[in-house]
């Protein structure tokens, strides 16, 4: 006989989901009982951290992350990070334990009341199986939903007495069927529509390309570079994206679009056609009124997310997988100019700068870090007030080498620290920049004086405080050379203007 | 200056949505004020009827239907029909009036409290714009969401004082951008995946095809017929579908799959590959345990609905538009046999049968109807207890010529009667078949004796009661010849076993 | 052994809920199997009618109504009436069948997906028991929630295979415990607060009382009359209430408050204290700006509904049961004047009026009806456009003798017709008054010409059309004398202005 | 002219809500602009901490707490603590900033999509005003809903551009009306019902009283002591409560009821009547089957929470305010015995124990803490694995002197540290007790080695590690004498069995 527990594990193995990120309590223990050798449980002490780790893991590996939380309080604590995972379009299956079925109607302690309502609207699907035997099928379905475009978190509430239940032969066979299922990859936009778009691209006088993080997430980096080079398209990056969709060292690369209506339209002025690949149209944060597009400019959006296609306030859209569609589009576009500039080599290596004050500015700190970091660095950025300085000094030039959280929440980066070789560099201005704006008013809240190095050491993480750019570069260099665990470097900087 | 009302109407014109189905009250009057000549308002006296008409209109025309309801009670009355429209995958924008903004926090009468929660989970999106100026953009987005796969109803709550608000120049321009947007059609599955599927189809010893209503809804009827004929595939119809996906008079057509686990697997026994196009895998109603598939049988599902792909309990899936994907698949499959049988002519014309009792049986009644109906009849079927008799005598052989509601609700058919040439034939057993099952128990509810012809005439619809098959055929013939409005024919039949 | 079915029925008996209002399908049959002799099933052919009947039954008897619907489409069709029951504060337990548990995760046909979300926000609680054994406890809890202040509908989704499951001894005993529970009645406001209010009432120069439908629903009619008489308080009725809270023939009765901000404040001008009992503060429909209260006027609200207390835009509130609190208040208020007028006899009998045109006006028709109706008539009013004429001619003077629906929906009245002696009088203006307002515009929808008498007869209800006031009075008199079933009387009237 | 900002602040002043707990971002800055001198902003760096502080503040002061969070990620991060506040029945108004209205339909970054769905089901009400002018009225209503029984959190989403909008004269006056409103206190159960209960209490042979945390929260501590003493009732405490409802040093005090069905019934065996005051009936966590009550035992529940009354699986219930109802009950119960024992003095002072090992046991540590703590200590307990040891050594004997979180989440206690004199004692077993249960299995997660003292110092909190009981007592004594800020004491203990 097979139990629900055994069938569930088979299913997780078949999905490659043997790493579980969690913070369990009593209601999750039955799921963990006899935890198999080939599984790994990555423990976080607060749920925001757990989901942050899972999010980073899913984005780095491209595989759906499995999360294990403790009834209602656990899901509650994780909700901010789940909202962020939804904004990041991260495939994630979030499970939470539930009281034993016999105690739920009584609302005994640890009953998650209305469990499937709790995680909405941040999840694509929320379900509590009506019988123990349905757990494997529900889990299989959860993975497939999480992985369909637009990818995102889903939720299952699992009563703790379900795992010991035995499956009969038909149920066991159905669970094996569920484990064996595969749902096919990204579709290509209808050929006629791509042909029409190719014609537009060829006849446009001055077309321009805008790329977003989905290009990286969907493995379309090479396709978009090929298209830009073939047609000689200048390329802008969409703002506030969680990933980078085009090499920032490429000669066709123009920079990041401003995130405000008027300035953005001004930036695109002169182009008669804007092709947007895998980015929202558009992400504005400050509300600066103005025209959405320059007069006479046409826009087409390629996206695999029907919601983004519907939400765009301007321009047409094609909903399809980015990689196959961009490959077809590239094939259909004639090579017009052999633009040598498009293949120019990247920038010269960055040098370590001199200090510009005491403490140094954030810009100098970022320059020092960029100069000292290894060529194969994967950047995780979570300091909104230094985003401009970061962009000035760090040029992302490989797929998958930059991640940030897009939903407005923080804490995604630090979560990535489970004995992995991460170097945390904290540009510490000793101000809470988001609060500075009202600091001049009476009764502004006191900003606590944190000793970041002490806190890091409290968690067992080696920590250092940089005194100047050269010291900072030296610390970065040392930390990243032969690193076998996390290191924190505090870089005292002057205050910087807040962004979000 | 442009008002919200004027911008809204421009937007509706651009979407081809100038027909409004509704049952308005005071909160909807501002939307209707100065109703333009080129718009049409189709009024129903109960909201279930209103949405039923809209559903039928959308399915018949392929265009998104626009519905206009009265605050919370109107949406409430319509909810059963909206649930049915969701099951039917019908693109539909449902709007409801809301109190004036200044009275909503007071919950003055006709305030729809929690308006965007009310229609869930039957709608894909529910929204109440945060400002009057956002109505046009919200409406544009509603259409695009309703039309993305899987299509379905969406909901907007519109405060009644929003329509008189004036737009400034930027807002008016944004409304025009919204009206001009187009979102591109169905994508084709990735070529590599289709090639793999084509190889499977060629190497399978005895493959079989299962078709569903989405084939008809997505205009893939010709593609599926071509594929079946090219490869000589026997074709089964999925059960409980709202449309027909393959000509039932075609020599390759095998019939309707049984809607129960065991019998369905038995029906497919012997086939090593099942290709399902545009149908759920599978629709079971009676719970008959058994294997989901015969031992050794593989299954692949083609669907444009990622939810269906995730939900299927067995087999692989490709998520893509049916028409382009089936066309590519057909192209890639070698013509194996020139199966003459596959092009055999249809069945001989049906003859009017003799009566088999007093009253006649439902089977005989259906035979009479089938014999008398014109060749270009569009069938709308809503009598679950006669579904077998219907299938025995009526063979659907053209795209778009059969509709029924799939969600388990009734009333979709009769709703189609707004001065249109519909002949309603009611096989009246003078029993409520769904209730017969408990009729032998004490205290069974009394079934009211309805005089269907009197009711029809009360609504101004000519009505006749058929005495025998010949009379029934004669009435059907007369009603369908040169018809300029609805006619009801009551066909008294013996009791028949209920299905749902 | 006891089954879930048997335990459920014991529980229903203990709650006095042996009358089931429903429109069942296959998913409800297991609940109905072996339907006991002491239960009664009241069948309606559309769910709005089913819930309307249940609502009227609950309001007339004061007992919680039990409703039985068919999965998602049944609940959907009923939602408008459930919204109305919520507005009426009607205690009601709505149940719906659900697929067998083994088929729910597959979303087999008739699965109600997200069943507990569907009826929100119209229900106070929505639940699907996690095991069959929990059905009795869930049902007990549903009754108690429906009956707690503010009363209203609750919802249970019941999988169809739950009823045959057997309970073990402990479960059976728990079900008996659940059946035996009683939750105590209305609480009295804290004595100190009532004393303070009594002092205010005694010292106010010109206090006034406003009564609402909750006075009738909570059995506080006598208490409110006693208070008004003891202090000689003029009494206004709150507008748009579903019941009447004070005898309209009483000399202290002033009429119905206008439902608009400005006019209402004007009506209360001159009073320094307004005591509102069991009515919302206030119900406005047309949005007429103005002060909420006259300058210098104080207001206190007595209500058993904490939501109403929170929602009121002005004045203080006491949340407690109306009857005990008003009785204590009356006890604490000194009898100030022996106002003979307060005990004056009611109005003289109404005479049958002459016709005032062809057809007669709605006002004359109402006068004729009022004159001919028996003294013990229970009035159910659902014709918003004649509400003023109704108020002018019909004076409600006994508890429980007037009902209407408050939520803005219609159809509550006609639903009361299950072989009960109801006389339906329809003031038929051959216009859809709510639509007249836009009738002068192009493209106004055609209003169908209904033959009401033919429709009534189609349902087996005798029907008559009145030619003039005398004929109308004669028909009303005949219908209400020794009536043993419903009768419909169509009273053609001239068009009247719409209200809602 | 008055702005929304000014009117909002007037309203908050009138509610005594000038302390704001928050973690703001850009969307909250407009609310904070020109922050007034008489307001205080208490800043937390993570939202769980913010809401924990607010929860503790509300419970300690009895006043509704005001919370200010950052759009969707802020609400998400706070959700676990909001779930806990709901379980604690803590009155709390949670506000979150929202994008400017003009950017919401675009879903610009920091738009909280479906903002009112996000915090459900943990809040009693969730609202986003339809216009800026409605903010004051919505806020007033939010306070009243949060404070009605059962008290709990409510939620408001406030677009950031609402605060600068100006109110016209009528709107400003309506805002003043809203600020002036008061909703009256707890009601007393109907006298006839209380009389019946008094008779039962007098005629019962061996009645018993069970008290819960609501006794403390509703100020009914004295009333319940008086009732117990008057009738000589033995008193049990309900398990898993957030507050203590009866002095644990009182001679009638029996201890804490076991939280499992069978053992609880056994504990109550022999009593013919159980009166439960302000506690759930009952809180079970381990699922131990058995009878809910001993055979022949009756039960009555007094509660102000209609939901608790409905949810109880056994016994009758009266829904009313605890204090007035218990006072009346006490009045109606004859003094039967002058039980001297009932007035016996409390326990002798606790002595500091000897160490029982290295490290000491949790029991010895608790004894040391209890011995050294001042008499007026307010205990906040959050260590489920030491709950028994805590109960053995710490006897709560004054109202409001014990708090813990009831919902299963942790972190409520540490949040109380905003420069307040709190001594944190952490019984540190260097094991994650909840995880020990699966520690013996392969692949158990590594428990990180935290240096608690280093972490505390990182936040600027003095910290000490106790070496033995005497040292621990000395540290506790020193910390609590003349304390002017938080102190952390780590008390290494041996592992203890987990509870939740």
Q: Which 3 state secondary structure label does DSSP give A187?
A: coil
Smallest CA–CA distance, residue A229 to chain D, in Å, is 31
Can you give the pLDDT at residue A344? 46
Nearest to D188 among C188, C292, C316 (CB): C188
Residues from chain A contacting residue B314 (CB–CB below 8 Å): 174, 177-178, 181
- Interchain CB contact of B145 with A (< 8 Å): yes
In whole angstroms, what is the distance from residue C145 CA to residue D150 CA?
A: 13
Of B168 and B411, the one with more pLDDT: B168
At residue C416 the predicted structure's pLDDT band, cuts being 50, 70 and 90, is low
Tokens linked to D407: 């919902």
Active-site position among C10, C47, C128, C327: C47
3-state secondary structure of A40: strand
Mutate: best of D184, D280, D298, partner C, most C CBs <10 A: D184
- Domains of chain D by residue range: 2-180, 191-343, 362-492
Mean pLDDT rounded to a whole number for chain B: 88
CA–CA dist A371, B162 (Å, integer): 56
Question: What CATH number is given for D191-343 in this structure?
Answer: 3.40.50.1220
Average pLDDT over residues B242-266: 92
Q: Tell me the per-residue pLDDT of A394-445, one tens digit each, with 9 for 90 and over.
A: 888 899 888 888 777 766 666 755 667 888 888 887 655 555 554 444 455 5
The mean per-residue pLDDT over the stretch B384-397 comes to 83
**pLDDT band for position B440 (cuts 50, 70, 90):** very low
- The predicted pLDDT at position B209 comes to 98
C336: pLDDT strictly greater than 70: no
Which residue from B42, B109, B449 is facing C445, i.e. has the nearest CB? B42
What six digits make up the tokens of B349? Answer: 């014309």
- Active-site residue flag, A26: yes
Check whether B340 has a pLDDT greater than 70.
no
Helix (H, G, I), strand (E, B) or coil at A63: coil
Res. C1: pLDDT tops 60: yes
C190, D186 contact by CB (below 8 A)? yes
Q: What percentage of residues in chain C have a pLDDT greater than 90?
A: 58
**Catalytic residue at A408?**
yes
* Separation between Cα atoms, residue D291 and residue C118, nearest integer Å: 35
- C2-180 — its CATH code? 3.40.50.970
Question: Least CB-CB distance to B105: which of D101, D102, D130?
Answer: D130
Planar angle of CA D436, D438, D443, nearest 5 degrees: 115
CB C123 within 8 A of CB C152: yes
Contact of D205 with chain C, judged by CB distance below 8 Å, is answered with no
* Of residues D170, D185, D310, nearest to C190 (C-beta): D185
Which chain B residue has the Cα nearest residue A291? Answer: B170
Average pLDDT over residues C173-183: 93
Please give the ipTM for the structure prediction.
0.91
Q: Give residue C148's pLDDT.
A: 94
Which residues from chain C sit within 8 angstroms of residue D121, using beta carbons?
A: none
Between chains, do D105 and B137 touch, taking CB under 8 Å as contact? yes
User: Which of the residues B14, B124, B127, B190 would you substitute to probe the A interface, choosing the one with the greatest number of A C-beta atoms within 10 Å?
Assistant: B190
Contact criterion met (CB < 8 Å) for A131 and C106: no
Contact list, C149 vs chain D (CB under 8 Å) = 306
Look at B72 and C442 and tell me if their CB atoms are within 8 Å: no
Residue A345 CA: distances (Å) to CA of A69, A210, A231, A255: 48, 22, 19, 17
Put simply, the chain D residues between 371 and 430 with a CB less than 8 A from any chain A CB are: 406-410
- Give the pLDDT band (50/70/90) at residue B463: very high
pLDDT of residue C155: 98
pLDDT score, position B430:
62
Give D-chain residues touching B117 at CB under 8 angstroms.
117
In this structure, chain D runs to a length of 500
For the question of residue A242 being annotated catalytic, the response is no
The pLDDT-based confidence of B348 (bands split at 50, 70, 90) is low
Q: Give the closest of D148, D190, D291 to C310, CB-based.
A: D148
The residue of chain B with its CA nearest to that of C42 is: B445
Describe the strand order of the beta sheet including D423-428 as a list of residue ranges: D423-428, D487-492, D463-465
Pairing of strands C463-465, D2-3: unpaired
Q: Do D103 and A78 touch (CB under 8 A)?
A: no
Average pLDDT (C206-216) is 96
Please tell me if residue D195 touches chain C, with a CB cutoff of 8 Å.
no
- Chain B CA closest to residue D125: B114
Q: Decide whether A2-180 matches A191-343 in CATH topology.
A: yes
Closest A-chain CA to C158: A130
- Does the pTM surpass 0.90? The reply is yes
Mean pLDDT of D277-306: 90
C121 in reach of chain A (CB within 8 A):
no
Question: Is domain D362-492 classified as CATH 3.40.50.300?
Answer: no
The answer to whether D307 contacts C170, with C-beta atoms less than 8 Å apart, is no
Q: B301 near B281, Cβ under 8 Å?
A: yes
Q: Which residues are CB-neighbours of C209 under 8 A, at least 6 positions away?
A: C224, C227, C228, C233, C234, C235, C236, C246, C274, C275, C276, C277
Instruction: Tell me what pLDDT residue B383 has.
Output: 80
**Chain A positions in Cβ-Cβ contact with residue C106 (cut-off 8 Å):** 137
**Looking at B44-53, B121-130, D124-133, which range is the least confident one?**
B44-53
pLDDT of residue B498: 45
A413 is catalytic: no
In which element (H, E) is residue C303 found? strand C298-303
Assess contact for D273 and D294: CB atoms under 8 A. Answer: no
By annotation, the residues of D acting in catalysis are 25-26, 28, 47, 70, 285, 408
Answer whether D318 sits within 8 Å of C183, measured CB to CB.
yes
Q: Do B130 and D106 touch (CB under 8 A)?
A: no
Q: Does B130 touch chain D (CB under 8 A)?
A: yes
Judge whether A25 counts as a catalytic residue.
yes
Cα–Cα distance for residue pair B311/D350, rounded to 1 Å: 63
pLDDT for the residue C385? 75
Q: Identify which of C71, C273, C238 has the alpha carbon closest to the alpha carbon of residue C158.
A: C71
- The answer to whether the CB atoms of D104 and B130 lie below 8 A apart is yes
| Alpha helices (H) in A126-235, listed in sequence order | 135-147, 169-180, 191-203, 213-217, 221-231
Ranges in chain A, pLDDT < 50: 344-345, 438-442, 497-500
H or E stretch including C317? Answer: strand C316-319
The string of DSSP letters for C191-241 reads HHHHHHHHHHHHH-SSEEEEE-HHHHHTT-HHHHHHHHHHHT--EEEPSS-
Residues of chain C in contact with residue B121, where contact means CB-CB under 8 angstroms, are 113-114, 117-118
Task: Write down the residue that tokens 């002017």 correspond to.
Answer: D484
Q: What is the pLDDT of residue D431?
A: 59
B190 → closest Cβ in A137, A170, A187: A187
**What pLDDT is stored for residue A403 in this prediction?**
86
Please tell me the distance in Å from C323's CA to the nearest CA on chain D. Answer: 10
Asked if B81's CB is within 8 angstroms of C109's CB, the reply is no
What residues of chain B lie within 8 A of the CB of A173, using their CB?
291-292
According to DSSP, residue C424 is labeled E
CA of A145 vs chain B CAs: smallest distance (Å): 6
Q: Going by C-beta distance under 8 Å and a sequence separation of 6 or more, which residues neighbour residue D178?
A: C313, C314, D11, D136, D137, D139, D140, D141
Kindly list the partner chains of chain C, i.e. chains with 3 or more CB atom pairs below 8 Å.
A, B, D
Considering CB atoms only, which of C105, C117, C127 is closest to A130? C105
| Closest by Cβ to C442, choosing from B35, B113, B287 | B35
Which string of DSSP letters, residue by residue, matches C125-180?
Answer: -EE--SSGGGHHHHHHHHHHHHHSSSP-EEEEEEETTSTTPEE-HHHHHHHHHHHH
C311 near B CB under 8 A: yes
Q: Cα dihedral sign for C66, C70, C72, C76? A: negative
A291 and B170 within 8 Å at the Cβ level: the answer is yes
Whether residue A454 contacts residue A426, with contact meaning beta carbons closer than 8 Å, is answered with no
At residue D499, the pLDDT reads 40
In the block, tokens 């202005």 appear at C497
In total, chain C counts a number of residues equal to 500
Is C45 an interface residue toward A (CB < 8 Å)?
no
């Amino acid at each position: 006989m097979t139990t629900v527990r055994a069938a569930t594990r088979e299913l997780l193995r078949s999905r490659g989901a043997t790493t579980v990120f969690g913070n369990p309590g009593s209601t999750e223990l039955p799921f963990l009982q006899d935890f198999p050798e080939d599984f790994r449980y990555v423990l976080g002490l607060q749920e925001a951290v757990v989901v942050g780790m899972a999010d980073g893991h899913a984005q780095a590996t491209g595989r759906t992350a499995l999360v294990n939380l403790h009834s209602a309080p656990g899901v509650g604590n994780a909700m901010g990070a789940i909202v962020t995972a939804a904004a990041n379009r991260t495939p994630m299956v979030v499970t939470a334990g539930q009281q034993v079925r016999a105690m739920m109607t009584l609302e005994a302690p640890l009953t998650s009341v209305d469990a499937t309502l709790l995680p909405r609207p941040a999840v694509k699907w929320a379900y509590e199986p009506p019988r123990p035997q349905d757990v494997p099928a529900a889990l299989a379905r959860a993975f497939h939903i999480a992985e369909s475009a637009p990818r995102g978190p889903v939720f299952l509430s699992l009563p703790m007495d379900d795992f010991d239940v035995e499956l009969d032969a038909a149920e066991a066979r159905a669970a094996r069927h569920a484990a064996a299922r595969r749902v096919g990859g990204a579709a290509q936009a209808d050929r006629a529509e791509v042909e029409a778009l190719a014609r537009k691209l060829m006849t446009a006088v001055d077309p321009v390309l805008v790329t977003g993080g989905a290009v990286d997430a969907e493995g379309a980096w090479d396709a978009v570079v090929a298209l830009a080079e073939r047609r000689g398209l200048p390329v802008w990056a969409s703002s506030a994206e969680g990933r980078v969709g085009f090499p920032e060292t490429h000669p066709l690369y123009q920079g990041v679009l401003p995130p405000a209506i008027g300035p953005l339209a001004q930036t695109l002025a002169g182009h008669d056609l804007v092709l947007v690949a895998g980015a929202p149209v558009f992400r504005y944060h400050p509300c600066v009124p103005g025209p959405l597009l320059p007069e006479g400019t046409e826009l087409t959006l390629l996206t695999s997310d029907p919601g983004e296609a519907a939400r765009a306030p301007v321009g047409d859209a094609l909903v399809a997988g980015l990689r196959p569609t961009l490959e077809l589009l590239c094939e259909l576009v004639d090579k017009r100019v052999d633009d040598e500039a498009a293949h120019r080599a990247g920038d010269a290596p960055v040098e370590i700068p001199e200090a510009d004050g005491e403490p140094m500015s954030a810009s100098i700190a970022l320059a020092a870090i960029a100069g000292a970091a290894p060529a194969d660095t994967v950047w995780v950025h979570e300091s909104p007030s230094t985003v401009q300085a970061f962009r000035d000094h760090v040029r992302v030039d490989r797929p998958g080498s930059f991640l940030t959280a897009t939903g407005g929440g923080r804490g995604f980066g630090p979560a990535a620290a489970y004995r992995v070789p991460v170097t945390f560099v904290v540009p510490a201005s000793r101000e809470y920049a988001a609060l500075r704006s009202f600091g001049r008013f009476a009764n502004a809240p006191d900003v606590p004086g944190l000793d970041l190095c002490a806190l890091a050491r409290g968690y067992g993480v080696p920590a250092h405080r940089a005194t100047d750019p050269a010291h900072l570069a030296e610390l970065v260099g040392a930390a990243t050379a032969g690193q076998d665990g996390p290191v924190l470097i505090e870089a005292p900087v002057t205050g910087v203007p807040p962004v979000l």
